[in-house]
Amino acid sequence: MSEQPTDDGTARDRRADGATSAGAAPSAAEDPRGAPTEGATAPPATADDAPQPAAHGWRPGRFMVITAHPDDAEFGPAATAAAWIDQGSVGWLVCCTSGDQGGEDADQDPLELAATREREQHAAAAIVGYEGVTFLHQPDGALENTLALRELLVREIRTFRPDAVLATDPEVIFYTDRGVNHTDHRAAGMAAVDAVYPAARNPMAFPWLTRAGLAKHVVKRLYLFWSNQPTARVDVTATIDRKIAALRAHESQLRDPQRIETWIRGWAADEGKAIGAEAAEALRVIVIEDDESEGPAAPEVESAEGAADAASGTVEIFDEAAASPAGSAAGDE
């Protein structure tokens, strides 16, 4: 496994000159499934002349985070999820795999490891405040964007009925020139995008689900994390501590939790600078359906004052009443 580039401070130095990330991509050393590329921990960087993401104020009433592995949601948009939940949103987490390859001992029982990681993910999700977690029990290291996986995701989406889905950016193969994105992350991200559009909203896609009572559902927005092209920053000053605490719940994956905390706080601080916040997470936002309730100027605000307004919950949110709970989620663990 590659040594962490932050040992000599180079990763933090790269971050200091305007690099952006959507949460911290898991490192090769901390996420052993990751490619052991030298320097693979470095988050994506953007050119100095790239447009700076503005503080993001829109908040989904209901959101679903779809990941490949246990711990992806915590290395990713956990502080955003916690901030939204604190402001009244309801969140649900879907893990496509249970991380059964997340170790370095070929003699280790993968099912035992999966059980450990599911317990860790449940503990982390409780800290963030998700309403629940679904494990789809797909094979770690062999995840593929198949019709079968999309059906499982459509079932989750039509059951929970989120306004927004958060997933890994499937377009990222390399974190600029600093590392390789895990194949499972790409597959989970692409399957999530394909499940959101068009399948979840088309009653003729997986019609047996529709006939069984899982009506079509329109997801308004995608939030892609670990993106090389983020377009929004969420002020997470109030929730960065919860992200750290949730990350620490993944004990089997963290060899040096203190070092992870230092990186996470440093990256969040760098992201926060552009919007005048102490901490922020960067995301690539895809608007699939306009939300008329938010008005012309609500979703992005350019000033730190606007970010403060957003953090205090004064922005419009998507119509929560239209997204009523759909009862117990299929596959709920």
CA 34 to chain centre: 17
Least distance in Å: CB of 295 to Zn ion?
A: 37
Instruction: Please identify, among the stretches 61-69, 204-212, 213-221, 261-269, the one whose residues bind Zn ion according to the rule CB under 5 A.
Output: 61-69
Considering beta carbons, is residue 34 or 61 the nearer one to Zn ion? Answer: 34
What order of strands is seen across the sheet that includes strand 232-235?
132-138, 90-97, 62-67, 164-168, 221-225, 280-287, 232-235, 54-56, 300-301
Least distance in Å: CB of 134 to Zn ion?
A: 17
Considering beta carbons, is residue 173 or 297 the nearer one to Zn ion? Answer: 173
User: Which position among 15, 69, 117, 186 is part of the footprint of Zn ion (CB under 5 A)?
Assistant: 69
Residues 6 or more apart whose Cβ sits within 8 Å of residue 147: none
Considering beta carbons, is residue 74 or 235 the nearer one to Zn ion? Answer: 74
**Token reading at 214:** 């899982």
Least distance in Å: CB of 168 to Zn ion?
A: 8
CA 175 – CA 129 distance, rounded (Å): 29
Least distance in Å: CB of 283 to Zn ion?
A: 17
Considering beta carbons, is residue 62 or 186 the nearer one to Zn ion? Answer: 186
Q: Which sign does the torsion angle of CA 16, 20, 26, 28 carry? A: negative
Q: Tell me how many residues contact Zn ion (CB under 5 A).
A: 2
The answer to whether 74 contacts Zn ion (rule: CB under 5 A) is no
Site string for Zn ion, 87-126 (x = CB under 5 A): ----------------------------------------
Cβ pair 164, 222 in contact under 8 A:
yes
User: Which position among 5, 20, 42, 72 is part of the footprint of Zn ion (CB under 5 A)?
Assistant: 72
The dihedrals phi and psi of 30, each to the nearest 5 degrees, come to -85, -25
Containing 314, the helix (H) or strand (E) segment is none
Cα–Cα distance list, 298 to 55, 70, 162, 310 (Å): 11, 33, 20, 9
Instruction: Please identify, among the stretches 72-80, 155-163, 186-194, 262-270, the one whose residues bind Zn ion according to the rule CB under 5 A.
Output: 72-80
Considering beta carbons, is residue 69 or 155 the nearer one to Zn ion? Answer: 69
- Burial of 108-125, coded b for 16+ CB within 10 Å and e otherwise, reads eebeebbebbbebbbebb
The answer to whether 250 contacts Zn ion (rule: CB under 5 A) is no
Residues forming the site for Zn ion (CB under 5 A)? 69, 72
